[in-house]
Amino acid sequence: MSVTIERVDAIALRIPYDHWAPKPKFGGIARETMDCLLVRVTASNGLVGWGEAFWGGWQATQAALEHWIAPLSVGQDVNDRQIFARLERALHNFGRSGPYLYALAGLDIALWDLRGKLAGVPVHALLGEKKRERVEVYASLIAYGGNIEHVKRNTARALERGYRQIKLHEKTTEAVAASRETTGPQIPIMVDTNCAWLPEAAYDAVAAMKQYDPLWVEEPIWPAEDVDSLGALRKATGVPLAAGENATGTLEFERLAAAGIDYLQPSAVKNGLTNQWEICRRAEESGATCVPHAPYFGPGYLATLHILAAKEKEVALERFFCDLAHVPYASSVPIENGSVRIPDVPGLGPEPDEELLANFRA
Ligand SMILES: [Mg+2]
């Protein structure tokens, strides 16, 4: 008898954090907490799976989940891997990215957790074979708004804590220079500019960073979907580029790969694990490298770890560099000296801890 979806719940968490600098703005408002929208799926046999939907605008995603995704998914077979594709198509004119897809992504991640638990195997075993036991983790420094002292001090702090790769969320050459001066020549530095420039302004800004040897410059162009301009910038500067956290679906990633973008960054909490795995596989067949977007802390983070375990090319996992009031999976999936072990228990790994659920609900 098949095991079906009996209930789908959304649980929003808000976790205070310290990144040793004034809080950055997100959507024009100071970001005071790291938010996480958990998706809990209860199956007809009583088993529970946990997913995570993208945190940005989570209130809208929670509504999409409760009003549409949950009622449409109840009664469906947990092991039916076409659920995401079917619901995406059914709801396609509700938006080709945004809350409905994020809610579906959270459901999809929870269903993979359940499938692993039902089969008694880790999710990486459902994707293929585990190709490594641990992965490197890179410190993804949160934006310091170009403040050089914060950049230097926190680059040094990340190195002291054992990280061997640094990503900045900065837009100035001075910030990149300051981080490079702190790391010395051997440490990879990535520079995430979050769509900083219109195409005509991007060349000078990116070319000026080249002397500091960035492993990649991320999303230098606004709008994010101007793939032709990204490809032209890559050719003109010779600087490796990364993009994809704002792209949805396999076709957009094929366009990025065809444009010569070196590093593709699908997000599990926006695309779901099913699509993220497919995007990753196709990206690496085409010669690009898949480096998933992963600045989140819940089951989406675990889902990304399983993808990194099973995919061809070995890459580092993104981790927002901050102290959290409660670190999810701190004892079960700890980051130690800049690397993390792949979970080997059935499903995605550990459940969200009780303390987290009890104390940090929105
Ligand atoms: Mg980014």
Domain residue limits, the chain: 5-120, 125-349
For residues 212-230, average pLDDT: 98
How many whole angstroms from 15 Cα to the centroid of ligand 1? Answer: 21
Note the pLDDT of residue 239.
98
Q: Do residues 289 and 314 lie in contact, with contact meaning Cβ atoms separated by under 8 Å?
A: no
State which fold the 125-349 domain adopts.
TIM Barrel (3.20.20)
Angle, CA of 174, 17 and 156, to the nearest 5°: 40
Burial of 289 (0-12, 13-18, 19+ CB in 10 A): buried
Q: Do residues 316 and 291 lie in contact, with contact meaning Cβ atoms separated by under 8 Å?
A: yes
How many whole angstroms from 215 Cα to the centroid of ligand 1? Answer: 14
How many whole angstroms from 168 Cα to the centroid of ligand 1? Answer: 9
As given in the structure block, the two tokens for residue 35 are 């938010």
Class of domain 5-120: alpha beta
How many whole angstroms from 219 Cα to the centroid of ligand 1? Answer: 7
How many whole angstroms from 249 Cα to the centroid of ligand 1? Answer: 17
How many whole angstroms from 193 Cα to the centroid of ligand 1? Answer: 7
- Rounded-to-integer distance, Cα 148 and Cα 182, Å: 11
- Rounded-to-integer distance, Cα 312 and Cα 43, Å: 32
Q: Do residues 308 and 292 lie in contact, with contact meaning Cβ atoms separated by under 8 Å?
A: yes
Question: pLDDT of 254-308, one tens digit each?
Answer: 999 999 999 999 999 999 999 999 999 999 999 999 999 999 999 999 999 999 9
How many whole angstroms from 331 Cα to the centroid of ligand 1? Answer: 27
How many whole angstroms from 245 Cα to the centroid of ligand 1? Answer: 6
pLDDT at 26 over 90: no
How many whole angstroms from 74 Cα to the centroid of ligand 1? Answer: 34
Q: What's the predicted TM-score (pTM) here?
A: 0.97
How many whole angstroms from 119 Cα to the centroid of ligand 1? Answer: 34
Question: pLDDT of 310-350, one tens digit each?
Answer: 999 999 999 999 999 999 999 999 999 999 999 999 999 99
